[in-house]
Amino acid sequence: MASLVLASASPRRLELLRRIGIEPDLIAPMEIDETPRAGELPRNLAARLAGEKCAAAAKRFPECHVLAADTVVACGRRVLGKAQDAEEARRFLTLLSGRRHRVWGGISVRAPDGRRASRTVLTHVAFKRLEAREIESYLACGEWRDKAGAYGIQGRAGAFVRTITGSYPNVVGLALYEARSLLAGLGYPAP
């Protein structure tokens, strides 16, 4: 049976893990309600969602190590999820233009013996002031789809970033140092 389950459908998380030599045996996205609770802070949302995904996967695959993660982009206390359409993506990018925002990464790991560990990682990202034509060009390329905050730092939106403080892989989708450390701490033979 599989020894590591990645409870995520994100191709970026899988690619990041492969970069450090970790190959999940099974990809098993967990469908949970990702709606923020009333008054829930972005950090707490990232931690809760990762924990719920991990718990759901652990029920299905109790004999495996399980790794789950979630990424929350926040401008102040406002959570910028995955834009539903180009208009919402335009609003998100306009809000982020010329400002600093936070990317919270929640990571949760469960071992076959039931032990759990989790971490929340913060990265600060500052965007340059975006011109309307830059936003429209980015929307037209479609890269914003299925990405928290309506941008992918690893693609064209990387040109919008003035500064980044913290973990770059966290913004892409998974803080690698922390993920590897949590797995190793719970007995997974991470390279």
Active-site residues: which are they?
70
DSSP annotation of 36: P
93: tokens are 């990018």
94-129 pLDDT, tens digit per residue, is 999 999 999 999 999 999 999 999 999 999 999 999
In a domain, residue 62? The reply is yes
Q: How far apart are CA 54 and CA 105, in angstroms?
A: 14
Tell me how many domains the chain contains.
Answer: 1
The residue range of the domain holding 84 is 4-185
Phi, psi of 118 (to 5 degrees): -150, 160
In a domain, residue 67? The reply is yes
In a domain, residue 181? The reply is yes
In a domain, residue 16? The reply is yes
pTM of the model: 0.94
In a domain, residue 190? The reply is no
In a domain, residue 104? The reply is yes
Report the pLDDT value the prediction gives residue 28, as an integer from 0 to 100: 97
Report the pLDDT value the prediction gives residue 2, as an integer from 0 to 100: 54
CATH number at residue 126: 3.90.950.10
Contact 170, 125 (CB under 8 A): no
Contact 117, 166 (CB under 8 A): no
